[in-house]
Protein backbone atom coordinates (compact mmCIF):
# COMPACT_ATOMS: atom_id res chain seq x y z
CA UNK A 1 0.00 0.00 0.00
CA UNK A 2 2.69 2.52 1.02
CA UNK A 3 4.80 1.20 -1.85
CA UNK A 4 2.08 2.30 -4.22
CA UNK A 5 1.75 5.68 -2.54
CA UNK A 6 5.50 6.23 -2.86
CA UNK A 7 5.48 5.27 -6.53
CA UNK A 8 2.59 7.61 -7.21
CA UNK A 9 4.33 10.47 -5.38
CA UNK A 10 7.53 9.90 -7.39
CA UNK A 11 5.59 9.84 -10.64
CA UNK A 12 3.68 13.02 -9.76
CA UNK A 13 6.95 14.80 -9.01
CA UNK A 14 8.39 13.62 -12.32
CA UNK A 15 5.35 15.06 -14.09
CA UNK A 16 5.82 18.39 -12.30
CA UNK A 17 9.49 18.48 -13.32
CA UNK A 18 8.79 17.73 -16.97
CA UNK A 19 5.56 19.69 -17.23
CA UNK A 20 7.21 23.00 -18.33
CA UNK A 21 9.01 21.20 -21.17
CA UNK A 22 5.81 19.60 -22.39
CA UNK A 23 3.64 22.70 -22.16
CA UNK A 24 6.25 24.84 -23.91
CA UNK A 25 6.43 22.34 -26.76
CA UNK A 26 2.63 22.14 -27.03
CA UNK A 27 2.17 25.88 -27.17
CA UNK A 28 5.05 26.55 -29.53
CA UNK A 29 3.15 24.64 -32.23
CA UNK A 30 -0.19 26.33 -31.54
CA UNK A 31 -1.53 29.11 -33.76
CA UNK A 32 -2.21 32.48 -32.10
CA UNK A 33 -5.95 32.05 -32.83
CA UNK A 34 -5.94 28.62 -31.20
CA UNK A 35 -4.07 30.05 -28.22
CA UNK A 36 -6.46 32.98 -27.95
CA UNK A 37 -9.48 30.71 -28.05
CA UNK A 38 -8.33 27.86 -25.80
CA UNK A 39 -5.47 29.22 -23.70
CA UNK A 40 -2.19 27.49 -22.85
CA UNK A 41 -3.57 24.23 -21.46
CA UNK A 42 -5.41 22.83 -24.47
CA UNK A 43 -3.86 20.45 -26.96
CA UNK A 44 -2.98 22.21 -30.23
CA UNK A 45 -5.64 21.90 -32.94
CA UNK A 46 -3.02 21.33 -35.60
CA UNK A 47 0.69 21.56 -36.13
CA UNK A 48 1.40 25.26 -36.58
CA UNK A 49 5.08 25.93 -37.19
CA UNK A 50 4.83 29.50 -38.44
CA UNK A 51 5.42 30.91 -34.94
CA UNK A 52 8.73 29.10 -34.64
CA UNK A 53 9.75 29.97 -38.20
CA UNK A 54 8.91 33.64 -37.68
CA UNK A 55 10.82 33.81 -34.44
CA UNK A 56 13.77 31.96 -35.95
CA UNK A 57 13.99 34.41 -38.87
CA UNK A 58 13.35 37.46 -36.76
CA UNK A 59 16.31 36.81 -34.45
CA UNK A 60 18.35 34.89 -37.02
CA UNK A 61 18.50 32.01 -34.58
CA UNK A 62 20.70 29.85 -36.80
CA UNK A 63 23.45 32.42 -36.46
CA UNK A 64 23.04 32.48 -32.65
CA UNK A 65 23.32 28.70 -32.51
CA UNK A 66 26.44 28.84 -34.68
CA UNK A 67 28.00 31.48 -32.39
CA UNK A 68 27.23 29.36 -29.34
CA UNK A 69 28.67 26.33 -31.08
CA UNK A 70 31.88 28.05 -32.19
CA UNK A 71 32.52 29.54 -28.76
CA UNK A 72 31.63 26.42 -26.74
CA UNK A 73 33.45 24.05 -29.09
CA UNK A 74 36.66 26.10 -29.15
CA UNK A 75 36.60 26.58 -25.39
CA UNK A 76 36.03 22.87 -24.75
CA UNK A 77 38.98 21.82 -26.91
CA UNK A 78 41.40 24.54 -25.77
CA UNK A 79 40.50 24.17 -22.09
CA UNK A 80 41.03 20.41 -22.23
CA UNK A 81 44.43 20.91 -23.89
CA UNK A 82 45.50 23.41 -21.23
CA UNK A 83 44.12 21.25 -18.41
CA UNK A 84 46.13 18.30 -19.70
CA UNK A 85 49.34 20.35 -19.96
CA UNK A 86 48.89 21.73 -16.43
CA UNK A 87 47.87 18.44 -14.91
CA UNK A 88 50.85 16.75 -16.58
CA UNK A 89 53.20 19.16 -14.84
CA UNK A 90 51.33 19.07 -11.51
CA UNK A 91 50.05 15.50 -11.26
CA UNK A 92 52.84 13.60 -12.99
CA UNK A 93 55.74 16.05 -13.04
CA UNK A 94 55.04 17.04 -9.43
CA UNK A 95 56.70 20.41 -9.95
CA UNK A 96 57.75 22.27 -6.87
CA UNK A 97 55.06 24.30 -5.10
CA UNK A 98 52.30 22.31 -6.79
CA UNK A 99 50.02 22.49 -3.75
CA UNK A 100 50.08 26.27 -3.94
CA UNK A 101 49.62 26.30 -7.67
CA UNK A 102 46.59 24.01 -7.30
CA UNK A 103 45.18 26.25 -4.58
CA UNK A 104 45.48 29.19 -6.99
CA UNK A 105 43.60 27.28 -9.69
CA UNK A 106 40.88 26.41 -7.19
CA UNK A 107 40.67 30.03 -6.09
CA UNK A 108 40.44 31.16 -9.71
CA UNK A 109 37.59 28.72 -10.17
CA UNK A 110 35.59 29.95 -7.16
CA UNK A 111 35.96 33.69 -7.91
CA UNK A 112 32.69 35.16 -9.14
CA UNK A 113 32.82 36.49 -12.68
CA UNK A 114 31.37 39.73 -11.34
CA UNK A 115 34.78 40.48 -9.80
CA UNK A 116 36.46 40.16 -13.21
CA UNK A 117 33.75 41.52 -15.46
CA UNK A 118 34.51 45.21 -15.66
CA UNK A 119 38.29 44.94 -16.05
CA UNK A 120 37.81 42.25 -18.69
CA UNK A 121 35.35 44.51 -20.49
CA UNK A 122 37.81 47.39 -20.25
CA UNK A 123 40.80 45.33 -21.40
CA UNK A 124 38.86 43.77 -24.25
CA UNK A 125 37.86 47.21 -25.47
CA UNK A 126 41.47 48.40 -25.27
CA UNK A 127 42.65 45.32 -27.20
CA UNK A 128 39.96 45.70 -29.85
CA UNK A 129 38.42 42.38 -28.82
CA UNK A 130 35.17 43.74 -27.41
CA UNK A 131 32.07 42.20 -28.98
CA UNK A 132 34.06 39.37 -30.57
CA UNK A 133 33.65 35.65 -30.10
CA UNK A 134 37.42 35.41 -29.68
CA UNK A 135 37.24 37.40 -26.42
CA UNK A 136 34.72 34.93 -25.00
CA UNK A 137 36.83 31.98 -26.16
CA UNK A 138 39.90 33.35 -24.39
CA UNK A 139 38.08 34.18 -21.15
CA UNK A 140 36.15 30.93 -20.83
CA UNK A 141 39.16 28.83 -21.80
CA UNK A 142 40.90 30.26 -18.73
CA UNK A 143 37.87 29.79 -16.45
CA UNK A 144 37.14 26.20 -17.53
CA UNK A 145 40.83 25.22 -17.56
CA UNK A 146 41.08 26.32 -13.91
CA UNK A 147 38.53 23.70 -12.98
CA UNK A 148 39.90 21.11 -15.39
CA UNK A 149 43.41 21.49 -14.01
CA UNK A 150 42.16 20.99 -10.49
CA UNK A 151 40.23 17.83 -11.33
CA UNK A 152 42.72 16.34 -13.77
CA UNK A 153 45.75 16.86 -11.53
CA UNK A 154 44.11 14.61 -8.96
CA UNK A 155 43.39 12.01 -11.64
CA UNK A 156 46.89 12.08 -13.13
CA UNK A 157 48.39 11.97 -9.64
CA UNK A 158 47.13 8.37 -9.57
CA UNK A 159 48.65 7.56 -12.97
CA UNK A 160 50.44 4.17 -12.86
CA UNK A 161 54.15 4.94 -12.38
CA UNK A 162 55.28 1.69 -14.03
CA UNK A 163 53.89 2.80 -17.37
CA UNK A 164 55.77 6.10 -17.20
CA UNK A 165 58.97 4.39 -16.18
CA UNK A 166 58.66 1.90 -19.01
CA UNK A 167 58.19 4.76 -21.45
CA UNK A 168 61.20 6.65 -20.19
CA UNK A 169 63.31 3.50 -20.42
CA UNK A 170 62.22 3.16 -24.03
CA UNK A 171 63.71 6.60 -24.50
CA UNK A 172 60.44 8.44 -24.96
CA UNK A 173 60.76 12.16 -24.29
CA UNK A 174 58.36 14.00 -22.07
CA UNK A 175 56.18 15.34 -24.84
CA UNK A 176 56.02 11.94 -26.52
CA UNK A 177 55.07 10.28 -23.24
CA UNK A 178 52.28 12.81 -22.83
CA UNK A 179 50.97 12.40 -26.37
CA UNK A 180 51.32 8.65 -26.80
CA UNK A 181 50.70 7.37 -23.28
CA UNK A 182 49.11 9.79 -20.82
CA UNK A 183 46.48 11.23 -23.15
CA UNK A 184 45.27 7.90 -24.62
CA UNK A 185 45.11 6.28 -21.17
CA UNK A 186 43.13 9.16 -19.66
CA UNK A 187 40.80 9.51 -22.63
CA UNK A 188 37.59 8.65 -20.67
CA UNK A 189 38.21 11.47 -18.18
CA UNK A 190 39.16 13.86 -20.97
CA UNK A 191 35.97 13.19 -22.88
CA UNK A 192 33.91 13.87 -19.75
CA UNK A 193 35.75 17.18 -19.32
CA UNK A 194 35.30 18.07 -22.98
CA UNK A 195 31.54 17.56 -22.82
CA UNK A 196 31.16 19.42 -19.54
CA UNK A 197 33.21 22.37 -20.77
CA UNK A 198 31.10 22.51 -23.90
CA UNK A 199 27.79 22.50 -22.05
CA UNK A 200 28.91 24.86 -19.30
CA UNK A 201 30.17 27.36 -21.84
CA UNK A 202 26.98 26.98 -23.88
CA UNK A 203 24.95 27.76 -20.75
CA UNK A 204 26.98 30.82 -19.70
CA UNK A 205 25.03 34.04 -19.51
CA UNK A 206 26.63 36.81 -17.46
CA UNK A 207 29.85 37.53 -19.39
CA UNK A 208 28.39 36.82 -22.84
CA UNK A 209 25.61 39.27 -22.01
CA UNK A 210 28.20 41.94 -21.33
CA UNK A 211 30.60 41.12 -24.15
CA UNK A 212 28.39 40.11 -27.05
CA UNK A 213 26.16 43.03 -27.82
CA UNK A 214 25.74 42.87 -31.57
CA UNK A 215 23.44 40.53 -33.42
CA UNK A 216 26.15 38.67 -35.25
CA UNK A 217 28.18 37.70 -32.18
CA UNK A 218 25.43 36.86 -29.65
CA UNK A 219 24.99 33.36 -28.29
CA UNK A 220 21.63 31.60 -28.17
CA UNK A 221 20.96 31.95 -24.41
CA UNK A 222 21.88 35.66 -24.49
CA UNK A 223 19.67 36.35 -27.49
CA UNK A 224 16.72 34.62 -25.79
CA UNK A 225 17.41 36.29 -22.45
CA UNK A 226 17.52 39.86 -23.74
CA UNK A 227 14.39 39.43 -25.86
CA UNK A 228 12.20 38.94 -22.82
CA UNK A 229 9.82 41.83 -22.51
CA UNK A 230 10.21 42.94 -26.15
CA UNK A 231 6.99 44.12 -27.73
CA UNK A 232 6.73 41.40 -30.34
CA UNK A 233 7.09 38.71 -27.65
CA UNK A 234 3.45 37.64 -27.46
CA UNK A 235 2.36 34.27 -26.12
CA UNK A 236 3.22 32.36 -29.30
CA UNK A 237 6.58 34.04 -29.85
CA UNK A 238 7.49 33.51 -26.18
CA UNK A 239 6.74 29.82 -26.26
CA UNK A 240 8.57 29.49 -29.58
CA UNK A 241 11.62 31.20 -28.06
CA UNK A 242 11.44 28.98 -24.98
CA UNK A 243 11.24 25.87 -27.17
CA UNK A 244 14.25 26.96 -29.22
CA UNK A 245 16.18 27.44 -25.99
CA UNK A 246 15.12 24.05 -24.64
CA UNK A 247 15.83 21.99 -27.74
CA UNK A 248 19.65 22.18 -27.88
CA UNK A 249 19.88 21.42 -24.16
CA UNK A 250 17.60 18.40 -24.51
CA UNK A 251 19.59 17.21 -27.52
CA UNK A 252 22.85 17.46 -25.55
CA UNK A 253 21.20 15.67 -22.68
CA UNK A 254 20.08 12.77 -24.87
CA UNK A 255 23.41 12.60 -26.69
CA UNK A 256 25.59 12.72 -23.60
CA UNK A 257 23.31 11.28 -20.91
CA UNK A 258 25.70 8.49 -19.98
CA UNK A 259 28.74 10.72 -19.87
CA UNK A 260 26.88 13.41 -17.97
CA UNK A 261 25.76 11.21 -15.13
CA UNK A 262 29.17 9.55 -15.02
CA UNK A 263 30.85 12.94 -14.95
CA UNK A 264 28.66 14.34 -12.21
CA UNK A 265 29.30 11.30 -10.09
CA UNK A 266 33.05 11.15 -10.76
CA UNK A 267 33.85 14.75 -10.03
CA UNK A 268 30.69 15.69 -8.13
CA UNK A 269 30.85 18.93 -10.01
CA UNK A 270 28.62 21.95 -10.48
CA UNK B 1 60.53 -9.52 -12.91
CA UNK B 2 62.34 -6.28 -12.36
CA UNK B 3 65.25 -6.16 -9.95
CA UNK B 4 64.90 -3.67 -7.06
CA UNK B 5 68.07 -1.79 -7.94
CA UNK B 6 66.86 -1.15 -11.46
CA UNK B 7 63.57 0.31 -10.22
CA UNK B 8 65.54 2.62 -8.03
CA UNK B 9 67.63 4.02 -10.85
CA UNK B 10 64.64 4.60 -13.10
CA UNK B 11 62.83 6.42 -10.29
CA UNK B 12 65.85 8.57 -9.90
CA UNK B 13 65.99 9.39 -13.61
CA UNK B 14 62.29 10.28 -13.48
CA UNK B 15 62.91 12.51 -10.50
CA UNK B 16 65.89 14.22 -12.06
CA UNK B 17 63.80 14.80 -15.17
CA UNK B 18 61.13 16.50 -13.09
CA UNK B 19 62.76 19.86 -13.48
CA UNK B 20 61.57 20.69 -16.99
CA UNK B 21 57.90 20.04 -16.29
CA UNK B 22 57.17 23.64 -15.37
CA UNK B 23 57.42 24.49 -19.07
CA UNK B 24 53.99 22.89 -19.47
CA UNK B 25 52.52 25.47 -17.09
CA UNK B 26 53.69 28.45 -19.15
CA UNK B 27 50.74 28.83 -21.57
CA UNK B 28 48.18 28.70 -18.75
CA UNK B 29 50.19 31.04 -16.55
CA UNK B 30 50.13 33.74 -19.21
CA UNK B 31 46.42 33.21 -19.83
CA UNK B 32 45.60 33.24 -16.12
CA UNK B 33 47.58 36.35 -15.52
CA UNK B 34 45.69 38.18 -18.26
CA UNK B 35 42.19 36.80 -17.68
CA UNK B 36 41.97 36.24 -13.94
CA UNK B 37 44.82 37.66 -11.82
CA UNK B 38 45.23 41.09 -13.44
CA UNK B 39 41.48 41.73 -13.87
CA UNK B 40 40.86 40.72 -10.26
CA UNK B 41 43.52 43.14 -9.02
CA UNK B 42 42.19 45.86 -11.33
CA UNK B 43 38.72 45.30 -9.88
CA UNK B 44 40.12 45.54 -6.39
CA UNK B 45 41.95 48.73 -7.31
CA UNK B 46 38.85 50.26 -8.91
CA UNK B 47 36.89 49.57 -5.73
CA UNK B 48 38.96 52.26 -3.98
CA UNK B 49 38.12 54.89 -6.59
CA UNK B 50 35.30 56.94 -7.98
CA UNK B 51 35.19 56.13 -11.67
CA UNK B 52 32.56 56.31 -14.38
CA UNK B 53 34.45 53.97 -16.70
CA UNK B 54 35.93 56.80 -18.79
CA UNK B 55 38.57 59.29 -17.78
CA UNK B 56 40.87 58.92 -14.80
CA UNK B 57 39.63 57.13 -11.69
CA UNK B 58 39.81 59.29 -8.56
CA UNK B 59 41.20 57.65 -5.42
CA UNK B 60 38.71 57.79 -2.55
CA UNK B 61 40.11 55.11 -0.25
CA UNK B 62 37.50 53.05 1.57
CA UNK B 63 34.60 55.38 0.83
CA UNK B 64 32.82 52.89 -1.44
CA UNK B 65 32.96 50.25 1.28
CA UNK B 66 31.68 52.69 3.89
CA UNK B 67 28.83 53.54 1.55
CA UNK B 68 28.08 49.82 1.08
CA UNK B 69 27.62 49.32 4.80
CA UNK B 70 25.01 52.07 4.87
CA UNK B 71 23.30 51.05 1.64
CA UNK B 72 19.97 49.35 2.30
CA UNK B 73 19.85 47.97 -1.24
CA UNK B 74 23.13 46.19 -0.63
CA UNK B 75 21.95 44.57 2.60
CA UNK B 76 18.62 43.66 1.04
CA UNK B 77 20.47 42.02 -1.86
CA UNK B 78 22.41 39.78 0.53
CA UNK B 79 19.20 38.91 2.38
CA UNK B 80 17.68 37.80 -0.92
CA UNK B 81 20.80 35.72 -1.43
CA UNK B 82 20.05 33.96 1.84
CA UNK B 83 16.60 33.10 0.48
CA UNK B 84 18.20 31.80 -2.70
CA UNK B 85 20.61 29.64 -0.70
CA UNK B 86 17.57 28.05 0.94
CA UNK B 87 15.97 27.55 -2.48
CA UNK B 88 19.06 26.39 -4.35
CA UNK B 89 21.05 24.49 -1.70
CA UNK B 90 19.07 23.58 1.42
CA UNK B 91 15.70 22.58 -0.02
CA UNK B 92 17.04 20.67 -3.06
CA UNK B 93 19.56 18.85 -0.86
CA UNK B 94 16.85 17.86 1.65
CA UNK B 95 14.33 16.72 -0.98
CA UNK B 96 17.15 15.19 -3.01
CA UNK B 97 18.22 13.03 -0.06
CA UNK B 98 14.76 11.59 0.43
CA UNK B 99 14.30 11.10 -3.32
CA UNK B 100 17.69 9.44 -3.77
CA UNK B 101 17.11 7.11 -0.83
CA UNK B 102 13.68 6.19 -2.20
CA UNK B 103 14.78 5.77 -5.79
CA UNK B 104 17.73 3.68 -4.71
CA UNK B 105 15.42 0.95 -3.45
CA UNK B 106 13.41 0.97 -6.65
CA UNK B 107 15.77 -1.22 -8.60
CA UNK B 108 15.90 -1.24 -12.37
CA UNK B 109 14.67 0.93 -15.16
CA UNK B 110 12.08 2.99 -13.26
CA UNK B 111 14.73 4.55 -11.05
CA UNK B 112 16.95 5.39 -14.03
CA UNK B 113 14.10 7.00 -15.95
CA UNK B 114 12.84 8.98 -12.93
CA UNK B 115 16.35 10.18 -12.17
CA UNK B 116 16.74 11.38 -15.76
CA UNK B 117 13.42 13.22 -15.60
CA UNK B 118 14.32 14.94 -12.33
CA UNK B 119 17.69 15.91 -13.79
CA UNK B 120 16.31 17.35 -17.03
CA UNK B 121 15.94 21.01 -15.88
CA UNK B 122 19.63 21.00 -14.88
CA UNK B 123 20.81 20.78 -18.49
CA UNK B 124 19.05 24.02 -19.43
CA UNK B 125 20.98 27.25 -19.66
CA UNK B 126 19.70 29.00 -16.57
CA UNK B 127 18.65 31.96 -18.73
CA UNK B 128 16.48 29.65 -20.80
CA UNK B 129 14.92 28.26 -17.64
CA UNK B 130 14.06 31.89 -16.90
CA UNK B 131 12.53 32.33 -20.35
CA UNK B 132 10.41 29.20 -19.86
CA UNK B 133 9.12 30.27 -16.47
CA UNK B 134 8.66 33.90 -17.50
CA UNK B 135 6.23 32.59 -20.06
CA UNK B 136 4.54 30.12 -17.69
CA UNK B 137 4.11 32.77 -15.01
CA UNK B 138 2.86 35.54 -17.29
CA UNK B 139 -0.04 37.24 -15.48
CA UNK B 140 -2.39 37.40 -18.47
CA UNK B 141 -1.61 34.38 -20.65
CA UNK B 142 0.61 32.16 -18.47
CA UNK B 143 -0.13 28.49 -17.85
CA UNK B 144 0.31 28.64 -14.06
CA UNK B 145 -2.60 31.00 -13.46
CA UNK B 146 -4.74 28.95 -15.84
CA UNK B 147 -4.08 25.74 -13.94
CA UNK B 148 -4.62 27.24 -10.52
CA UNK B 149 -7.58 29.30 -11.67
CA UNK B 150 -5.91 32.41 -10.22
CA UNK B 151 -5.14 35.86 -11.46
CA UNK B 152 -1.85 36.50 -9.70
CA UNK B 153 1.06 38.57 -10.95
CA UNK B 154 3.69 36.15 -9.65
CA UNK B 155 6.75 38.14 -10.63
CA UNK B 156 5.22 41.61 -10.54
CA UNK B 157 3.99 41.55 -6.96
CA UNK B 158 6.77 42.66 -4.58
CA UNK B 159 5.47 40.32 -1.87
CA UNK B 160 5.52 37.28 -4.13
CA UNK B 161 8.41 37.88 -6.52
CA UNK B 162 11.23 36.47 -4.40
CA UNK B 163 9.19 33.44 -3.33
CA UNK B 164 8.32 32.79 -6.97
CA UNK B 165 11.96 33.01 -8.08
CA UNK B 166 12.86 30.67 -5.21
CA UNK B 167 10.28 28.12 -6.35
CA UNK B 168 11.66 28.25 -9.90
CA UNK B 169 15.17 27.68 -8.58
CA UNK B 170 14.09 24.63 -6.55
CA UNK B 171 12.71 23.17 -9.78
CA UNK B 172 15.94 24.02 -11.57
CA UNK B 173 18.35 22.63 -8.96
CA UNK B 174 16.61 19.50 -7.68
CA UNK B 175 18.10 17.05 -10.17
CA UNK B 176 21.70 17.71 -9.22
CA UNK B 177 21.56 16.45 -5.61
CA UNK B 178 19.45 13.48 -6.70
CA UNK B 179 22.12 12.33 -9.16
CA UNK B 180 25.05 12.94 -6.81
CA UNK B 181 23.36 11.29 -3.82
CA UNK B 182 22.28 8.26 -5.82
CA UNK B 183 25.86 7.76 -6.92
CA UNK B 184 27.04 8.09 -3.33
CA UNK B 185 24.52 5.53 -2.13
CA UNK B 186 26.19 2.89 -4.27
CA UNK B 187 28.98 2.86 -1.72
CA UNK B 188 26.60 2.00 1.12
CA UNK B 189 26.84 -1.67 2.03
CA UNK B 190 23.38 -3.22 1.44
CA UNK B 191 24.04 -5.59 4.37
CA UNK B 192 23.74 -2.61 6.73
CA UNK B 193 20.21 -1.90 5.54
CA UNK B 194 19.22 -5.55 5.63
CA UNK B 195 20.50 -5.96 9.17
CA UNK B 196 18.67 -2.85 10.32
CA UNK B 197 15.51 -4.02 8.62
CA UNK B 198 15.69 -7.37 10.38
CA UNK B 199 16.10 -5.49 13.66
CA UNK B 200 12.83 -3.77 12.86
CA UNK B 201 14.21 -0.28 12.21
CA UNK B 202 11.71 1.91 10.38
CA UNK B 203 12.46 3.39 6.95
CA UNK B 204 12.96 6.78 8.55
CA UNK B 205 15.40 5.48 11.17
CA UNK B 206 17.40 3.63 8.55
CA UNK B 207 17.45 6.75 6.39
CA UNK B 208 18.65 8.92 9.26
CA UNK B 209 21.17 6.55 10.84
CA UNK B 210 22.56 4.68 7.84
CA UNK B 211 21.94 6.54 4.59
CA UNK B 212 22.68 10.11 5.67
CA UNK B 213 25.94 9.43 7.57
CA UNK B 214 27.28 7.24 4.75
CA UNK B 215 26.95 9.89 2.06
CA UNK B 216 28.04 12.81 4.19
CA UNK B 217 30.86 13.76 1.73
CA UNK B 218 28.33 14.07 -1.10
CA UNK B 219 26.05 16.19 1.09
CA UNK B 220 28.97 18.54 1.75
CA UNK B 221 29.86 18.85 -1.93
CA UNK B 222 26.25 19.52 -2.92
CA UNK B 223 25.73 22.13 -0.21
CA UNK B 224 29.00 23.87 -1.06
CA UNK B 225 28.59 24.01 -4.83
CA UNK B 226 24.91 24.98 -4.61
CA UNK B 227 25.57 27.68 -2.01
CA UNK B 228 28.24 29.20 -4.25
CA UNK B 229 25.86 29.01 -7.21
CA UNK B 230 23.17 30.77 -5.15
CA UNK B 231 25.58 33.54 -4.16
CA UNK B 232 26.52 34.08 -7.81
CA UNK B 233 22.99 33.91 -9.19
CA UNK B 234 22.41 36.35 -12.05
CA UNK B 235 20.74 34.81 -15.12
CA UNK B 236 17.32 34.00 -13.62
CA UNK B 237 17.12 37.40 -11.95
CA UNK B 238 18.03 39.19 -15.17
CA UNK B 239 15.51 37.26 -17.22
CA UNK B 240 12.64 37.00 -14.72
CA UNK B 241 12.61 40.22 -12.72
CA UNK B 242 15.65 42.47 -13.35
CA UNK B 243 15.90 42.73 -9.58
CA UNK B 244 12.40 44.10 -9.28
CA UNK B 245 9.69 44.96 -8.65
CA UNK B 246 11.32 47.75 -6.68
CA UNK B 247 14.25 45.89 -5.20
CA UNK B 248 12.25 42.82 -4.22
CA UNK B 249 14.60 40.38 -5.96
CA UNK B 250 17.82 42.42 -6.07
CA UNK B 251 20.94 40.26 -5.63
CA UNK B 252 24.59 41.38 -5.28
CA UNK B 253 25.52 40.08 -8.70
CA UNK B 254 22.77 42.05 -10.44
CA UNK B 255 23.41 45.04 -8.20
CA UNK B 256 27.06 45.19 -9.30
CA UNK B 257 26.02 44.75 -12.95
CA UNK B 258 23.64 47.72 -12.60
CA UNK B 259 26.40 49.89 -11.17
CA UNK B 260 28.91 48.85 -13.83
CA UNK B 261 26.84 49.13 -16.95
CA UNK B 262 23.78 51.23 -16.26
CA UNK B 263 24.69 53.76 -13.63
CA UNK B 264 28.38 54.12 -14.58
CA UNK B 265 29.36 53.75 -10.91
CA UNK B 266 32.27 51.49 -11.71
CA UNK B 267 34.04 52.08 -8.40
CA UNK B 268 30.96 51.22 -6.37
CA UNK B 269 30.19 48.21 -8.55
CA UNK B 270 33.75 46.97 -8.06
CA UNK B 271 33.36 47.24 -4.29
CA UNK B 272 30.17 45.13 -4.43
CA UNK B 273 31.89 42.55 -6.63
CA UNK B 274 34.91 42.44 -4.31
CA UNK B 275 32.70 41.85 -1.26
CA UNK B 276 30.84 39.13 -3.14
CA UNK B 277 34.15 37.48 -4.05
CA UNK B 278 35.32 37.64 -0.43
CA UNK B 279 32.05 36.13 0.82
CA UNK B 280 32.31 33.27 -1.68
CA UNK B 281 35.94 32.53 -0.85
CA UNK B 282 35.14 32.66 2.88
CA UNK B 283 32.17 30.30 2.47
CA UNK B 284 34.32 27.87 0.47
CA UNK B 285 37.05 27.97 3.08
CA UNK B 286 34.55 27.47 5.91
CA UNK B 287 32.93 24.49 4.22
CA UNK B 288 36.29 22.84 3.55
CA UNK B 289 37.30 23.33 7.20
CA UNK B 290 34.05 21.86 8.53
CA UNK B 291 34.33 18.96 6.13
CA UNK B 292 37.92 18.29 7.17
CA UNK B 293 36.89 18.21 10.79
CA UNK B 294 33.91 15.96 10.14
CA UNK B 295 35.95 13.30 8.37
pLDDT digits 0-9 by tens, A3-52: 788 889 999 999 999 999 998 888 888 888 888 788 788 788 888 888 88
Give the pLDDT confidence of B178-234 residue by residue, as tens digits.
988 888 888 777 788 788 888 887 888 888 888 888 888 889 889 999 999 999 999
Q: Which residues of A touch B47 (CB under 8 A)?
A: none
All CATH 1.10.3720.10 domain ranges of chain A, comma separated, are 63-267
Domain for residue B44, yes or no?
A: no
Give the pLDDT confidence of A53-72 residue by residue, as tens digits.
888 998 899 999 999 999 99
Q: Where are the beta strands (DSSP E) in chain B?
A: 49-50, 58-59
Query: Residue A1 pLDDT more than 60?
Result: no
Decide if B116 touches A, using CB distance below 8 A. yes
Q: State which residues form the domain around B243.
A: 71-263
Domain for residue B62, yes or no?
A: no
Q: What is the pTM of this model?
A: 0.88
Dihedral angle sign, alpha carbons of residues B183, B188, B191, B196 = negative
- The domain defined by A63-267 folds into MetI-like fold (1.10.3720)
In this complex, do A203 and B126 lie within 8 Å of one another by their Cβ atoms? yes
For residues B156 and B168, give the distance between their C-alpha atoms in angstroms, rounded to a whole number: 15
Q: Which residues of A touch B171 (CB under 8 A)?
A: 16-17, 20
Domain for residue B130, yes or no?
A: yes
Query: Residue A127 pLDDT more than 90?
Result: yes
Inter-chain contacts counted by CB atoms under 8 A, chains A and B: 275
Helix (H, G, I), strand (E, B) or coil at A39: coil
| Number of structural domains found in chain B | 1
Confidence of residue B1 (pLDDT cuts 50, 70, 90): very low
Domain for residue B136, yes or no?
A: yes
- Facing A203 at nearest CB: one of B10, B125, B239: B125
Dihedral angle sign, alpha carbons of residues A100, A102, A104, A107 = negative
Cβ atoms of residues B224 and A268 within 8 Å: no
Decide if A41 touches B, using CB distance below 8 A. yes
Q: Burial of B294 by CB count in 10 Å (0-12 exposed, 13-18 middle, 19+ buried)? A: exposed
The predicted structure's pLDDT at residue A233? 75
Report ipTM (2 d.p.): 0.86
CATH number reported for the structural domain that contains residue B252 in this entry: 1.10.3720.10
Q: Which residues of B touch A94 (CB under 8 A)?
A: 18, 21
Dihedral angle sign, alpha carbons of residues B182, B187, B191, B192 = negative
Amino acid sequence: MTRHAVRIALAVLAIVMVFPFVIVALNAVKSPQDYGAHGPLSLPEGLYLQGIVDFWNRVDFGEKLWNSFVISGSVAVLAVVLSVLNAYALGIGRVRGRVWILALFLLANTLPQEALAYPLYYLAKAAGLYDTRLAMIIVFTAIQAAFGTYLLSAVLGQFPREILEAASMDGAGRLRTLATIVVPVSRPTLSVLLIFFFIWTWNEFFLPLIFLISNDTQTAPVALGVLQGEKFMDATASSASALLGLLPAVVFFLLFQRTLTRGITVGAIK
Amino acid sequence: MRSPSRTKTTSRTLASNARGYWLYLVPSSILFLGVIAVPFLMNLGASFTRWSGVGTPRWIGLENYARLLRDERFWASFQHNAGLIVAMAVVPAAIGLVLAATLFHLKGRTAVVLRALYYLPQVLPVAVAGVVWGWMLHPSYGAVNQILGLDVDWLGDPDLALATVMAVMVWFQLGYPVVVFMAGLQRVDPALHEAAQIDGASWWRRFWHITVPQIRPEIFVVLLTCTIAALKVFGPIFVLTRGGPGDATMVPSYFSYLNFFQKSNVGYGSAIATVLALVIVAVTFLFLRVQERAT
